[in-house]
């Protein structure tokens, strides 16, 4: 009691669970200054049981959340900050990744199928073949999305078709479906003992089962994919009290039991909020496992003519308006670093990649298209596969490292060009965030290839910040004001273009040639001729 009397009172704090594709984090912010006070991170193991398959263990994900909350709270205590000052927790998550679990036992019925997974490619091709004019945009008028392996509905359909435990649980009304946010909120609010089964509008809009105009699950879409509606979570706004945390008293974080989970946003929407992109036309780009460019289009959904997605940006309260965004999605950004490190073994860290690439300052005519999961925006071409073009005897790992960084920048250029065409208003600077933005060479390359300035906030954890803002601003919590005059001023680092326009355009044109060569490589015919035991 004596020690606690000397603890620092900073006013109300807000926590954020940031569950990403490659790691989980828990971060604690001061709601008045947006200062990051404490955080902890745990890596998540990705499983690749077959070529093109990507899975993660839902129980490992949940355990990583508990560990991150516990360690971050320990660090707060070491700083003499009272954990009880945390007044709310927000959740942000990798989107589209699909989980089905048993509500009676609390056990997952299969691994989480990750958004990058390609096992449903043949299903997508079959669905496209059945549509008028083989149109992959057949459902876009309701969902804002093309038919793609990327989204949750076809992953869920695969589980319903191929996993007996899922089939049995659905038949006996024991099955629950959700994206990672739903799984975590259900577990953290009690699980099989009255856990709350819900999702928010941003995550729901990535399933292909949600009508972005009516803002509800759509019976026709569910029928189209053969999904029983009774397994779906309740859809809520991005900022309201969903339920109260229940953490065992044996954890130091048990002190958080009873505080509300009151914010929920898919990771890219959370970054949009964290970057304060509340105005129609404001844009941010996040560099994580993938790369995601979002433009706030205000309270009306804008349909793209250039391969971008129409998605829900946020809805900051039950009675608040829904905001929409145009999104350009790139599957492989930071994941290319992990591939160079884990698969090829030519680097030992992301820092080494920056050092190698910086030591040559050129790819020497080498172009790398990392289409490991096909091509996302603006092509939506699942048949594409990764290629490296322009190799000579002179090419070494330094040039390949540079080409890998350039690939991230070229992919961003493609989706930014599409966004400029859709909006008719060229962007004059790009706000960026995400783990890869610590790489200063990458940021300079991005400015050079876009021919506009790149602006990076000094506090890069904008995704978690967005979730914390949503949680703190919720009705019944109200410790974080989202009024423009109350938002904290953000200090930034700026990268301006340093090469001539002609050079940038030449390199970009060569990249486009490499992209053409990556397409139409994979077909489902080879999969269908494999022996039966290779497929579920």
pLDDT tens, position by position, 430-486? 999 888 888 999 999 999 999 999 999 888 789 999 999 999 999 999 889 888 776
The tokens for 45 are 């193991």
Q: Would you state the pLDDT for residue 523?
A: 67
For residue 19, is pLDDT > 60? yes
Residues 86 and 261: beta-carbon distance below 8 Å: no
- pLDDT, averaged across the chain: 89
Distance CA 170, CA 102 (A): 9
Q: Would you state the pLDDT for residue 3?
A: 42
Q: Which residues contact 221 (CB under 8 A, 6 or more apart)?
A: 139, 142, 143, 153, 208, 209, 210, 211
Q: Would you state the pLDDT for residue 472?
A: 95
pLDDT, tens digit, 9 for 90 and up, residues 149-162: 999 999 999 999 99
Q: Which residues contact 294 (CB under 8 A, 6 or more apart)?
A: 268, 269, 271, 272, 277, 283, 284, 285, 286, 311, 313, 325, 326, 327, 328
Pick the more confident residue, 266 or 336.
266
Q: Would you state the pLDDT for residue 351?
A: 87
Residue 36, phi then psi, degrees to nearest 5: -80, 120
Distance CA 272, CA 266 (A): 10
Q: Would you state the pLDDT for residue 201?
A: 97
Q: Would you state the pLDDT for residue 524?
A: 57
Output the CA angle 480-484-489, nearest 5 degrees.
Answer: 80
Q: How many residues does the chain have?
A: 536
Q: Would you state the pLDDT for residue 348?
A: 86
Distance CA 322, CA 314 (A): 6
Distance CA 436, CA 118 (A): 24
For residue 325, is pLDDT > 90? yes
3-state secondary structure of 53: coil
Distance CA 149, CA 100 (A): 17
Please, what is the end-to-end C-alpha distance for the chain in angstroms?
A: 59
Count of H-run helices and E-run strands, the chain: 16, 23
Residue 147, phi then psi, degrees to nearest 5: -65, 120
Average pLDDT of the residues in 66-79: 91
For residue 121, is pLDDT > 70? yes
Distance CA 346, CA 343 (A): 9
Q: What is the pLDDT confidence band of residue 8, given thresholds at 50, 70 and 90?
A: low
For residue 331, is pLDDT > 90? no
Greatest extent of the chain over all pairs of C-alpha atoms, in Å:
74
For residue 32, is pLDDT > 50? yes
Residue 234, phi then psi, degrees to nearest 5: -70, 135
Average pLDDT of the residues in 303-324: 93
3-state secondary structure of 335: helix
DSSP state of 482: -
For residue 1, is pLDDT > 60? no
Average pLDDT of the residues in 217-224: 94
Residues 24 and 41: beta-carbon distance below 8 Å: yes
Average pLDDT of the residues in 70-80: 91
Q: Would you state the pLDDT for residue 132?
A: 77
Least confident range of 13-27, 228-242, 471-485: 471-485
Q: Would you state the pLDDT for residue 249?
A: 66
How much of the chain, in percent, has pLDDT values that exceed 90?
60
Q: Would you state the pLDDT for residue 265?
A: 97
Return the bridge partners of 457, or none.
492
Read off the pTM.
Answer: 0.87
Q: Would you state the pLDDT for residue 527?
A: 46
DSSP state of 286: E
Q: Which helix (H) or strand (E) holds 492?
A: strand 492-495
Q: What is the pLDDT confidence band of residue 47, given thresholds at 50, 70 and 90?
A: very high
Distance CA 263, CA 185 (A): 10
The three-state DSSP-derived secondary structure of 362-426 is CCCCCEEECCECEECCCCCECCCCCEEECCCCCCCHHHHHHHHHHHHHHHHHHHHHHHHHHHCCC
């Amino acid at each position: 009691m004596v020690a606690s009397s000397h603890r620092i009172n900073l006013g109300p704090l807000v926590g954020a669970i940031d569950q990403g594709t490659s790691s989980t984090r828990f971060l604690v912010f001061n709601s008045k200054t947006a200062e990051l006070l404490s955080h902890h991170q745990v890596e998540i193991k990705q499983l690749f049981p077959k070529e093109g398959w990507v899975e993660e263990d839902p129980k490992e994900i949940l355990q990583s959340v508990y560990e991150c909350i516990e360690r971050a709270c320990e660090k707060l205590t070491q700083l003499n900050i009272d954990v009880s000052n945390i007044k709310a927790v927000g959740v942000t998550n990798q989107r589209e990744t699909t989980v089905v679990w048993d509500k009676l036992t609390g056990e997952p019925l299969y691994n989480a199928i990750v958004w990058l997974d390609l096992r449903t490619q043949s299903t997508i091709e079959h669905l496209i073949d059945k549509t008028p004019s083989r149109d992959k945009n057949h459902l876009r008028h309701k969902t804002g999305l093309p038919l793609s392996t990327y989204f949750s509905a076809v992953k869920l359909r695969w589980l319903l078709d191929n996993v007996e435990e899922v089939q049995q649980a659905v038949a006996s009304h024991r099955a629950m479906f959700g994206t990672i946010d739903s799984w975590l909120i259900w577990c953290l609010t009690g699980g099989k003992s009255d856990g709350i089964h819900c999702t928010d509008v941003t995550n729901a809009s990535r399933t292909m089962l949600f009508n972005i105009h009516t803002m509800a699950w759509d019976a026709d879409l569910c029928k189209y994919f053969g999904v029983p509606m009774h397994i779906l979570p309740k859809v809520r706004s991005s900022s309201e009290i969903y339920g109260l945390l229940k953490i065992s008293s044996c954890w130091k974080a048990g002190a958080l039991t009873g505080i509300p989970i009151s914010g929920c946003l898919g990771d890219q929407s959370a970054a949009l909020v964290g970057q304060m992109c509340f105005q129609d036309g404001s844009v941010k780009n996040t560099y994580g496992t993938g790369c995601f460019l979002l433009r706030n289009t205000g309270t009306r959904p804008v349909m793209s003519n250039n391969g971008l997605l129409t998605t829900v940006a946020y809805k900051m309260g039950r009675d608040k308006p829904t905001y929409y965004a145009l999104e350009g999605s790139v599957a492989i950004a930071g994941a290319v670093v992990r591939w160079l490190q884990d698969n090829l073994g030519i680097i030992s860290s992301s820092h080494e990649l920056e050092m190698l690439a910086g030591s040559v300052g050129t790819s020497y005519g080498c172009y790398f298209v990392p289409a490991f999961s096909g091509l996302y925006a603006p092509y939506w071409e699942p048949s594409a596969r990764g290629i490296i073009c322009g190799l000579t005897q002179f090419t070494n790992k330094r040039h390949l490292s540079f080409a890998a960084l350039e690939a991230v920048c070229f992919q961003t250029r493609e989706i930014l060009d599409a966004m400029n065409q859709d909006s008719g208003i060229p962007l004059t600077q790009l706000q960026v965030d995400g783990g890869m933005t610590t790489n200063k060479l990458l940021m300079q390359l991005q400015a050079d290839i876009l021919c506009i300035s790149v602006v990076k906030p000094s506090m890069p954890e904008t995704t978690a910040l967005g979730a914390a803002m949503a949680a703190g601003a919720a009705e019944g919590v109200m410790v974080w004001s989202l009024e423009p005059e109350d938002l904290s001023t953000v200090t930034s680092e700026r990268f301006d273009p340093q090469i001539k326009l002609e050079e940038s355009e030449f390199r970009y044109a060569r990249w486009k040639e490499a992209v053409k060569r990556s397409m139409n490589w994979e077909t489902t015919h080879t999969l269908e001729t494999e022996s039966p035991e290779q497929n579920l």
